[in-house]
Protein backbone atom coordinates (compact mmCIF):
# COMPACT_ATOMS: atom_id res chain seq x y z
CA UNK A 1 0.00 0.00 0.00
CA UNK A 2 2.08 2.90 -1.31
CA UNK A 3 1.59 6.17 0.55
CA UNK A 4 1.27 9.66 -0.91
CA UNK A 5 3.94 11.03 1.41
CA UNK A 6 4.15 14.39 -0.33
CA UNK A 7 0.46 15.10 0.19
CA UNK A 8 0.76 14.29 3.89
CA UNK A 9 3.88 16.43 4.28
CA UNK A 10 2.09 19.36 2.66
CA UNK A 11 -0.94 18.89 4.92
CA UNK A 12 1.29 18.95 8.00
CA UNK A 13 3.24 21.98 6.77
CA UNK A 14 0.08 23.95 6.02
CA UNK A 15 -1.49 22.98 9.35
CA UNK A 16 1.51 24.57 11.06
CA UNK A 17 1.17 27.66 8.83
CA UNK A 18 4.71 27.29 7.48
CA UNK A 19 5.59 28.53 4.03
CA UNK A 20 7.05 26.15 1.48
CA UNK A 21 10.11 28.35 1.07
CA UNK A 22 10.85 28.57 4.81
CA UNK A 23 10.66 24.79 5.23
CA UNK A 24 12.82 24.21 2.16
CA UNK A 25 15.45 26.60 3.50
CA UNK A 26 15.38 24.98 6.95
CA UNK A 27 16.01 21.46 5.61
CA UNK A 28 18.54 22.51 2.98
CA UNK A 29 16.67 21.83 -0.26
CA UNK A 30 15.32 24.11 -2.97
CA UNK A 31 11.73 25.32 -2.87
CA UNK A 32 11.16 23.79 -6.30
CA UNK A 33 12.33 20.37 -5.08
CA UNK A 34 10.07 20.51 -2.03
CA UNK A 35 7.17 21.54 -4.26
CA UNK A 36 7.80 18.52 -6.48
CA UNK A 37 7.89 16.25 -3.42
CA UNK A 38 4.60 17.66 -2.10
CA UNK A 39 2.88 17.23 -5.46
CA UNK A 40 4.21 13.70 -5.95
CA UNK A 41 6.30 14.57 -9.00
CA UNK A 42 9.42 13.27 -7.26
CA UNK A 43 10.26 11.32 -4.11
CA UNK A 44 12.49 12.54 -1.27
CA UNK A 45 15.73 10.83 -0.36
CA UNK A 46 15.98 9.19 3.08
CA UNK A 47 18.02 12.11 4.40
CA UNK A 48 15.54 14.67 3.05
CA UNK A 49 12.56 12.79 4.51
CA UNK A 50 14.19 12.64 7.94
CA UNK A 51 15.01 16.35 7.76
CA UNK A 52 11.40 17.16 6.86
CA UNK A 53 9.76 15.08 9.60
CA UNK A 54 12.18 16.44 12.20
CA UNK A 55 11.59 20.04 11.16
CA UNK A 56 7.81 19.57 11.00
CA UNK A 57 7.81 17.87 14.40
CA UNK A 58 6.18 14.62 13.31
CA UNK A 59 7.45 11.07 13.80
CA UNK A 60 7.75 8.52 11.03
CA UNK A 61 4.91 6.63 12.66
CA UNK A 62 2.86 9.81 12.68
CA UNK A 63 3.50 10.21 8.97
CA UNK A 64 2.82 6.59 8.03
CA UNK A 65 0.16 6.09 10.68
CA UNK A 66 -2.28 8.24 8.72
CA UNK A 67 -2.89 5.11 6.66
CA UNK A 68 -3.13 2.33 9.23
CA UNK A 69 -4.46 -0.90 7.74
CA UNK A 70 -7.28 -2.86 9.27
CA UNK A 71 -6.17 -5.17 12.07
CA UNK A 72 -6.82 -8.90 12.22
CA UNK A 73 -8.55 -9.90 15.45
CA UNK A 74 -7.74 -13.00 17.47
CA UNK A 75 -10.30 -15.64 18.45
CA UNK A 76 -10.25 -17.04 22.00
CA UNK A 77 -12.67 -19.67 23.38
CA UNK A 78 -13.13 -17.77 26.63
CA UNK A 79 -13.65 -14.24 25.36
CA UNK A 80 -14.69 -14.57 21.73
CA UNK A 81 -13.19 -12.07 19.31
CA UNK A 82 -10.74 -9.66 20.93
CA UNK A 83 -7.85 -7.54 19.84
CA UNK A 84 -4.67 -9.58 20.16
CA UNK A 85 -1.31 -8.35 21.47
CA UNK A 86 0.14 -10.08 18.40
CA UNK A 87 -2.01 -8.28 15.85
CA UNK A 88 -1.53 -9.50 12.29
CA UNK A 89 -0.90 -7.03 9.49
CA UNK A 90 -1.25 -8.66 6.07
CA UNK A 91 1.66 -8.31 3.66
CA UNK A 92 -0.49 -6.56 1.06
CA UNK A 93 -1.53 -3.93 3.61
CA UNK A 94 1.90 -2.72 4.70
CA UNK A 95 2.13 1.08 4.44
CA UNK A 96 4.98 1.68 1.99
CA UNK A 97 7.11 4.70 1.18
CA UNK A 98 9.12 4.61 -2.04
CA UNK A 99 11.91 7.16 -2.01
CA UNK A 100 14.34 8.58 -4.50
CA UNK A 101 17.17 6.38 -5.73
CA UNK A 102 15.52 3.03 -5.03
CA UNK A 103 15.01 3.04 -1.25
CA UNK A 104 11.76 1.52 0.07
CA UNK A 105 10.35 1.55 3.60
CA UNK A 106 7.54 -0.84 4.58
CA UNK A 107 6.08 -0.37 8.04
CA UNK A 108 5.48 -3.54 10.02
CA UNK A 109 2.63 -4.04 12.49
CA UNK A 110 3.16 -1.90 15.58
CA UNK A 111 -0.07 -2.48 17.48
CA UNK A 112 -0.58 1.26 17.73
CA UNK A 113 2.51 1.61 19.92
CA UNK A 114 4.65 4.73 19.69
CA UNK A 115 7.74 3.08 21.18
CA UNK A 116 9.44 2.51 17.83
CA UNK A 117 8.96 2.50 14.08
CA UNK A 118 9.41 -1.10 12.86
CA UNK A 119 10.36 -1.14 9.18
CA UNK A 120 11.41 -3.45 6.38
CA UNK A 121 14.01 -1.39 4.53
CA UNK A 122 15.19 -2.20 1.00
CA UNK A 123 18.10 -0.59 -0.86
CA UNK A 124 18.19 -1.35 -4.57
CA UNK A 125 21.59 -1.76 -6.28
CA UNK A 126 23.28 1.63 -6.32
CA UNK A 127 20.86 3.15 -3.81
CA UNK A 128 21.94 5.22 -0.82
CA UNK A 129 20.23 7.09 2.00
CA UNK A 130 21.60 10.37 0.64
CA UNK A 131 21.55 11.03 -3.09
CA UNK A 132 24.13 13.78 -2.60
CA UNK A 133 26.49 11.37 -0.84
CA UNK A 134 26.36 13.38 2.38
CA UNK A 135 26.13 11.75 5.79
CA UNK A 136 22.83 12.48 7.53
CA UNK A 137 21.97 12.84 11.20
CA UNK A 138 18.66 12.92 13.04
CA UNK A 139 17.37 12.42 16.55
CA UNK A 140 16.79 8.70 16.89
CA UNK A 141 18.10 5.43 18.19
CA UNK A 142 18.48 3.05 15.27
CA UNK A 143 18.61 -0.75 15.47
CA UNK A 144 18.59 -3.22 12.60
CA UNK A 145 19.57 -6.55 11.10
CA UNK A 146 20.36 -7.25 7.46
CA UNK A 147 18.53 -10.28 6.08
CA UNK A 148 19.42 -10.14 2.38
CA UNK A 149 22.21 -8.74 0.23
CA UNK A 150 25.09 -6.48 1.24
CA UNK A 151 24.96 -2.95 2.62
CA UNK A 152 27.60 -0.37 3.53
CA UNK A 153 27.02 1.54 6.77
CA UNK A 154 29.13 4.67 7.27
CA UNK A 155 29.20 6.25 10.74
CA UNK A 156 31.45 9.21 11.45
CA UNK A 157 34.79 8.15 9.94
CA UNK A 158 34.13 4.41 10.14
CA UNK A 159 32.75 2.17 7.39
CA UNK A 160 31.15 -1.25 7.93
CA UNK A 161 30.11 -3.86 5.38
CA UNK A 162 26.90 -5.54 6.54
CA UNK A 163 26.14 -9.09 5.41
CA UNK A 164 23.03 -11.23 6.08
CA UNK A 165 22.69 -11.82 9.81
CA UNK A 166 24.79 -8.79 10.79
CA UNK A 167 23.03 -6.41 13.16
CA UNK A 168 23.73 -2.87 14.32
CA UNK A 169 22.66 -0.23 16.79
CA UNK A 170 23.73 3.39 17.11
CA UNK A 171 22.64 6.88 18.03
CA UNK A 172 21.44 8.35 14.74
CA UNK A 173 22.49 11.84 15.79
CA UNK A 174 25.94 10.65 14.69
CA UNK A 175 26.55 11.38 10.98
CA UNK A 176 25.77 8.24 9.00
CA UNK A 177 24.79 6.89 5.62
CA UNK A 178 23.65 3.58 4.10
CA UNK A 179 24.79 2.59 0.62
CA UNK A 180 24.30 -0.47 -1.58
CA UNK A 181 27.23 -0.77 -3.98
CA UNK A 182 26.45 -4.39 -4.89
CA UNK A 183 24.42 -5.76 -7.79
CA UNK A 184 21.67 -7.24 -5.59
CA UNK A 185 18.99 -5.60 -3.43
CA UNK A 186 19.83 -5.29 0.26
CA UNK A 187 16.96 -5.82 2.68
CA UNK A 188 16.78 -5.61 6.44
CA UNK A 189 14.55 -4.98 9.43
CA UNK A 190 14.96 -1.64 11.20
CA UNK A 191 13.61 -0.42 14.53
CA UNK A 192 13.82 3.35 14.90
CA UNK A 193 13.05 5.11 18.16
CA UNK A 194 12.24 8.46 16.64
CA UNK A 195 13.08 10.93 19.38
CA UNK A 196 15.51 10.88 22.30
CA UNK A 197 12.65 11.15 24.79
CA UNK A 198 11.14 8.00 23.30
CA UNK A 199 14.17 6.04 24.49
CA UNK A 200 13.08 6.67 28.08
CA UNK A 201 9.49 5.76 27.30
CA UNK A 202 10.56 2.55 25.57
CA UNK A 203 12.32 1.38 28.73
CA UNK A 204 9.16 1.96 30.76
CA UNK A 205 7.03 0.15 28.18
CA UNK A 206 9.40 -2.80 28.38
CA UNK A 207 8.63 -3.07 32.10
CA UNK A 208 11.93 -1.63 33.31
CA UNK A 209 12.30 0.69 36.28
CA UNK A 210 12.33 4.44 35.66
CA UNK A 211 15.73 5.99 35.03
CA UNK A 212 17.45 8.13 37.63
CA UNK A 213 16.37 11.68 36.91
CA UNK A 214 19.83 13.04 36.18
CA UNK A 215 20.94 10.13 33.98
CA UNK A 216 21.06 10.93 30.28
CA UNK A 217 20.92 8.60 27.30
CA UNK A 218 23.67 9.74 24.96
CA UNK A 219 23.70 6.76 22.63
CA UNK A 220 22.09 3.43 21.81
CA UNK A 221 24.85 1.82 23.89
CA UNK A 222 23.60 3.76 26.93
CA UNK A 223 20.11 2.32 26.38
CA UNK A 224 21.46 -1.23 26.23
CA UNK A 225 23.55 -0.70 29.37
CA UNK A 226 20.53 0.61 31.28
CA UNK A 227 18.46 -2.37 30.13
CA UNK A 228 21.18 -4.77 31.32
CA UNK A 229 21.53 -3.07 34.70
CA UNK A 230 17.76 -3.00 35.24
CA UNK A 231 17.58 -6.72 34.48
CA UNK A 232 20.50 -7.52 36.75
CA UNK A 233 22.71 -8.85 33.97
Sketch the domain layout of the chain as residue ranges: 5-67+91-193, 197-231
The reported pLDDT for the residue numbered 43 is 81
As a whole number of Å, the end-to-end CA separation of the chain is 42
CA atoms within 13 A on the CB side of 182: 16
Task: Give the number of residues written for the chain.
Answer: 233
The reported pLDDT for the residue numbered 201 is 52
Residue 137 backbone phi and psi in degrees, to 5: -150, 145
Listed in sequence order, the residues at least 6 apart from 60 whose beta carbon sits closer than 8 Å to its beta carbon are 53, 107, 117, 119, 192, 194
Given a cut of 90, whether residue 27 has pLDDT beyond it is: no
Given a cut of 90, whether residue 138 has pLDDT beyond it is: no
Average pLDDT, the chain: 76
Q: pLDDT digits over 33-76, tens only?
A: 899 888 888 888 887 887 888 788 776 666 665 544 444 444 44
The reported pLDDT for the residue numbered 196 is 45
To the nearest 10°, report the CA torsion of 200, 5, 2, 85: 20
CA atoms within 13 A on the CB side of 96: 12
The reported pLDDT for the residue numbered 166 is 98
Q: pLDDT digits over 142-175, tens only?
A: 999 999 999 999 999 899 999 999 999 999 889 9
The reported pLDDT for the residue numbered 7 is 84
Fold type of domain 5-67+91-193: Jelly Rolls (2.60.120)
**pTM for the whole thing?**
0.64
Amino acid sequence: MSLAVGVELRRIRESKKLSLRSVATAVGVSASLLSQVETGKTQPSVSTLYALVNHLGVSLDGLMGQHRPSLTMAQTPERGTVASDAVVQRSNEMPTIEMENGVVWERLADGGSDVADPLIVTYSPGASSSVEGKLMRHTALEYGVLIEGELILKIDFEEYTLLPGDSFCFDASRPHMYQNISTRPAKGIWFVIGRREMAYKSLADLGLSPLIADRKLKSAVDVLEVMKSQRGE
